[in-house]
Amino acid sequence: MNETELVKVLSSIVLQASPLMIAVCGETISERVGVVNLSLDGTMLLAAMTGFVSAYLSDSVFVGFAAAAVVGALFATIVAFGSIKLRKDQFAIGFVLTLLGDKLSAYLGQNFTRIPGPHVAHWGIPLLKNIPVLGPIFFDHDPLVYFAFILVLTTWWWLFQSQAGLRLRSAGERPEAGFARGVNINRLRYLYTIIGGSLVGIAGAAYSLDIKLGWAEGSTRGLGWIALAIVIFGGWSPIRGAIGAMLFGASKALAAVLQRRYPEVSLVAFNTLPWLLMLAVLLLVSSDITDRLLIIVPIRFRQQFRQALRVRPPAALGQPFTAGESGED
């Protein structure tokens, strides 16, 4: 492999990772405020279908992305309403929506499969795209890729640097404390779960309008679950999540390269890679084994290493919140 090929591979990793980065940001926001939206896989399928069909019928990718965002917001609203207002199991609602989104996308999209349609146009950033190596990798894509990167940075800044982000995180970490300081916990949870859901919808449409062009039944199946795992791997931080998304993209690119290099090795070995990787990284960030292995690290650096590897979910993740004794009404 020479330099041109390597740059090409890296550039494709960035492109492939961009929808995942958007979905991971959306789910990170939702989980940081305390709501697990487990429906990602179904949301993305339905949004990918809706986005493509809307863009096809209106001949405008903007309409496609808007429709996909509405689908994502709608599913997130169901999760939020069911868990916040009705106090039902978030996982159960999310899981049913996962299956329902899958079936709805297959049914509603049945007359639009495997046809060409509009897609996001390529637009390299002038000047920046001419930078050697970095230019083609990061700045010679389409606007969606830039949107993903801007979104990651904005989300990070919003969560960890702004006052609003402090209130957001308080709802997911210690809602009683936030409430005592005048934060309307449940309103925040609705708001951010719905924003997160619409981002997940946009991520779904990013596949059908940018990465995998067009709609076919089950086209993004599995990717929603990957995004959910990356949120954990990312330790509920958008930047770490983005790195996780790119690692996933890299593992797929690596599989493709290795497969061309060693055609005698069965395709199976490469197909298992993303799932084995998922298990491995989840073990790495959450099991006690990591702690035990850290003994080999000199004691001075152990704390930093531990922080870099282990993650901790928001303390009140998935727990309904009721202010005081009297209930919400």
C-alpha 39/C-alpha 41 separation (Å) is 6
Residue 53 lies near another protein (rule: CB under 8 A):
no
The burial class, CB within 10 Å (0-12 / 13-18 / 19+), for 76 is: buried
- Give, as one character, the DSSP assignment of residue 128: G
> Residues 44, 144, 152, 278: which binds another protein (CB under 8 A)?
278
For position 216 contacting another protein by CB under 8 A, the verdict is no
Site pattern 155..174 for another protein (x: CB under 8 A): --------------------
- Applying CB under 8 A, the span of 105-113, 134-142, 241-249, 298-306 interacting with another protein comes to 105-113
Nearer to another protein, 14 or 48 (CB): 48
Give the pair of three-digit tokens for residue 293. Answer: 């292995």
- Which pair of structure tokens corresponds to residue 32? 């940081």
Element (H, E) at 290: helix 288-293
Contact mark string toward another protein, 122..141, x via CB under 8 A: --------------------
- 87 touches another protein by CB under 8 A: yes
Distance between CA atoms of residues 25 and 82, nearest Å:
22
Measured CA to CA, the distance from residue 146 to residue 258 in angstroms comes to: 29
Check binding of 154 to another protein (CB under 8 A).
Answer: no
Report how far residue 117's alpha carbon sits from residue 109's, in angstroms, rounded to the nearest whole number. Answer: 13
Please select the residue that binds another protein; options are 63, 78, 213, 317, rule is CB under 8 A: 78
Looking at residue 293, its amino acid is L
Residues near another protein (CB under 8 A), total: 45
* Interface with another protein in residues 283-322 (CB under 8 A): 283, 286-289
- Report the b/e string of 182-210 with b at 16+ CB within 10 A: ebebbebbbbbbbbbbbbbbbbbbbbbbb
The dihedral through the CA atoms of 12, 123, 71, 18 has a sign that is positive
Tell me which of 60, 130, 161, 272 binds another protein, using CB under 8 A: 272
In the list 13, 22, 38, 239, the residue contacting another protein (rule: CB under 8 A) is 38
- The amino acid at 311: V
**Residue 268 Cβ vs another protein, minimum distance, rounded to whole Å:** 4
Toward another protein, which CB reaches closer, 118 or 314?
314
Closest CA to 212 of 102, 155, 270, 221: 221
Q: Which residues bind another protein (CB under 8 A)?
A: 38, 78, 81-82, 85-89, 91-93, 95-97, 99-100, 102-104, 106-107, 110, 222, 225, 228-229, 232, 266, 268, 271-272, 275-276, 278-279, 282-283, 286-289, 327-329
